[in-house]
Amino acid sequence: MGNKNTNLQAAKKAKDDEFYTTYETIEKEVLHYKEQFKGKTVLCNCDDPFESNFCRFFLRNFNSLGLQRLICTSYKSSKVIATQINLFDDESKPLCPENGYVLDVTYVCDGNVELSDEYVTLFLQQNRIIKRLKGDGDFRSPECIRYLKEADIVVTNPPFSLFKEIVSEIMKYKKNFLLIGNQNALTYKEIFPLLQNNEVWTGYQFGEMKFRVPQSSEPRSTRYWVDESGQKWRSLGNAMWLTNLDNDRRHIELPLTKKYDPKEHPKYDNYDAIHIKTINDIPCDYAGIMAVPITIVNRYNSEQFEIVGEANHGSDNEYDLFKPTINGKEVFKRILIKNKKLNTPKIEEFRILDLFSGAGGMSYGMEKNPHFKTAVALDFNEKALETFKYNMPNTETVSGDITDCAVRRRIIELSKEKAVNMIIGGPPCQGFSLKGKKLGLDDPRNFLFNEYLNIVAELQPEVFVIENVKALLSTSAGWFKNQIIEKVKQMGYFVSYGVLTASDFGVPQTRQRAIFICSKHREISLPIPTCDTVVTVRDAIFDLSYLNSGEGDFEQDYITEPTSEYQRMMRQGSTKLYNHKASNHAEIAIKKLQMIPPECGKEFLPQELTGNQQFSGTWGRLKWDIASPTIDTRFDASSNGTNNHPYLHRAITPREAARIQSFDDRFVFIGSKVYIRTQIGNAVPPLMAKAIADKIYDDLGEK
C-alpha cells in the first residue's frame, strides 16, 4: 500500500480535489431511492467520516431509511478530522490524522424518525464505536475491500482523480452505488462502456453543486468564496451523481421538436454522423448517428436512444471512434447516439448474399420464410457449392477465395446487380485466441473476418448476420466480442448478440452458436425459443432405423411410415429418400458395437479394446429420448464420438445426421461421403436459421 498512499497523496496535492459534500446535497439525492435502502448495508468510503455529511446523514436517517448496517471508513492524513467535534476511538484515544478509522454500526436507537445532530454527536461520543484500522484506510486496501464485499450500497464523494478507480472496484464486486463525480468522467474508458451497456446512469442532480474545501485549498478567481465562519467553499458547474440504482428520471423520454436540416446539423469531415450543438437541437426524424453533447447522459433513455460510441480528440479509449472536426475545425468531444424510436423502413423481400456459405444450411433455413431469397453465395469449396446449387438453383454461386480481388469484385458486382440488401455468413477467425488478443481484429489470421466486414461496408445492407463458435463470446473475458461489436457500431449498425441453442428451435440437437444480428435502422433482438418440448433423436430418425453396416444407397424408396410429427415435416414434399447409406465398418468396429448395449458407450468395452481415444464420448451411442449432441464432420466413424445409432451396430448415416441438423429430406447432398459429412457437420441448422429470419422479418418486414 506504500505506493498507493504516495499516489493518493500526490493526486490530492496536485489536483486539490478534496470536496466535502453538503448535507442538503446528499439528502436531496438519497431520498429519491429511499425504498432501495431498506434492509441494506451502506458503505461510505474514501471519505472523512465523523466530520463527513455522508456519515452524519446516514446516522441521522439510519432508522427512517430502514438500514441494516452503516460502515464509514476514513483515510489517514485527513485534513478535517477532529476539527468539528472531539471523538475517541474504542480504546479511548483521541482521533488523529495519522490513522485510518472505521465506524461500523447496526443500531442507533429505537423509532423510525430522523435524528438530530445533537443525538448523533452524543451517540458517537458516548458509545466509543470508532475503531482504528490496521491499515491506512485506502479504499483499495485489503481491509477496506473486505468492508466493500460486506456492503450492499456504496455512497460517497471520492477524490475526482480516483473516481474511475473506485467505480472499477465497485463494479468488480457487483455492488450498487451513488457517487458524486465530475461529468468529464463520463468519457473515461473505464466509465463510458458502463453507460453504453446501460449498467450505470446519472442521478437526479446534474450540474451546479457547492462543496466545502480544506483550509489548505488555494483561492480561485471564480467559483470560490469564504463564508462568515472562515470556511472555504467551491462550486462546480459540471458535477453529477452517478449510480446504478434505478430511478424514474432515466425512463422519461426526451421530447424532440426539431427536424433534420443539413445546414443546422452538418456532417463531420471524417465520419458519417451529424453534429448536434445542444440537446434541444436533436432532430426527431434522423435515423443515423448523431454526435451530441456529453450532457445527453443526463437525459438519456435507453429505450429511446442507443449509445454508439464517443468522438474525442485522440484518447486511448477504444470507444473513441474519431476526432470530431467540421471543415477542418475541431469541436468539443461528443457522445454518439442513434434514435431507436424512428419508423424503420419496411422491407418486402430480403435478398441475401451468403458468404462462406458451405452447402447452404443458413440460406436454406432462411428461405423457409418466403420473404427471404438467397441471390448470391460464395465459398471456396466447390463440392459444397454443388450441393448448394442443386438445392437452391436460383442462387448465383461463386467458387473462390474471398481475398482474391477478382472474386471479391465479382461478388460485389453480382450483389449490386441483384439488389442484395442482406448479408449472412460465418467468417473463420482463427486469431481469436488468448494469444491473439494483442492484435485482435488486426491479427492476420482474422483477415477473413475483416473481409466479411469490408464487403458489408461496401454494400451497406439493411441487415447482416454473423454466426460463429460459442467460445468467441467468452474468450479473453469477452475482449474479442467487444472488438466485433465496436467495429460493427463504428460502421453505423445496431447490434445484438448472444448464444442460440438449436434445440430451442425444434432442432433435435444441442448445438450452440454465437449469433450477431446487425441492422441499420433499429436493434433486432435474437429470436426467443420457438418450441416448448425438445425434439428427440427418436422423433428425428426412428423411421430410418433399419440399415446395417454397408447397407443403403444414394437414392431409394421410403419403406416405413413416419412415427412423429417431426418425421412427417422432414418428409414433406420428398418422394424419394436420399443419402441414407450406412458406413461400411470394419469387422472389429462392428464387434465392438455389438458389445455396447443400446444407448450406452465405451464403458462396456474391455480395456484392451477402448483404443487410445482420450474423450469420454468415443464409441458412444445416441440416446433415443433426448436431443443429440453436436453433429460434427466425422459422424460416420463409429469411434469418433457419440455418433452411433442407439441400437444398430453402425454410425448414423448422412441422412440421419441431416435430420438431426434439421435438413428436410428434399435437401440432397452431392459428392463422396468425405465431402458430404463435412457439408453436414459444418452447416448451420436450417430451423435455427429460419428462426433468425422470422425474427428479422417481424422487426423489419413489410406486413
Instruction: Give the residue from 595, 564, 353 showing the smallest Cα distance to 452.
Output: 353
569: phi then psi, degrees, rounded to nearest 5: -65, -40
Question: Which residues 6+ apart lie within 8 Å of 352 measured at CB?
Answer: 363, 366, 372, 373, 374, 375, 376, 420, 422, 423, 424
> Residue 529 gets which letter from DSSP?
P
Grid coordinates 454526435 are at which residue? Answer: 291
Residue-wise burial string across 175-207, b where 16 or more C-beta atoms lie within 10 A, e elsewhere? bbbbbbbbbebbbbeebbbbbbeeebbbbbbbe
Could you tell me if 683 and 327 are in contact, meaning their C-beta atoms sit under 8 angstroms apart? no
**Cell numbers at 102, concatenated:** 472505521
CA distance 358 to 678: 9
Instruction: Give the residue from 176, 141, 174 showing the smallest Cα distance to 155.
Output: 176
**Cell numbers at 675, concatenated:** 465431402
Could you tell me if 72 and 78 are in contact, meaning their C-beta atoms sit under 8 angstroms apart? no
**Cell numbers at 642, concatenated:** 457419440
Number of C-beta neighbours around residue 597 at 10 A? 10
**Helix/strand/coil for 190:** coil
Please name the residue ranges forming H helices in 368-434.
382-391, 405-417
Number of C-beta neighbours around residue 30 at 10 A? 24
338: phi then psi, degrees, rounded to nearest 5: -130, 150
Instruction: Give the residue from 292, 212, 221 showing the smallest Cα distance to 258.
Output: 292
CA distance 427 to 356: 6
Q: What sign has the CA pseudo-torsion 671, 673, 674, 680?
A: positive
**Cell numbers at 107, concatenated:** 443500531
Strand partners, 239: 182, 207
- What is the 3-state composition of the chain as percent helix, strand, coil, each rounded to the nearest 5? 35, 25, 45
CA distance 372 to 360: 14
Could you tell me if 700 and 463 are in contact, meaning their C-beta atoms sit under 8 angstroms apart? yes
The active-site residue out of 284, 429, 518, 600 is 429
CA distance 319 to 197: 12
44 assigned to active site: no
Strand partners, 466: 425, 516
**Dihedral, 647, 650, 655, 658 alpha carbons, nearest 10:** 80
Cite the active site residues: 429
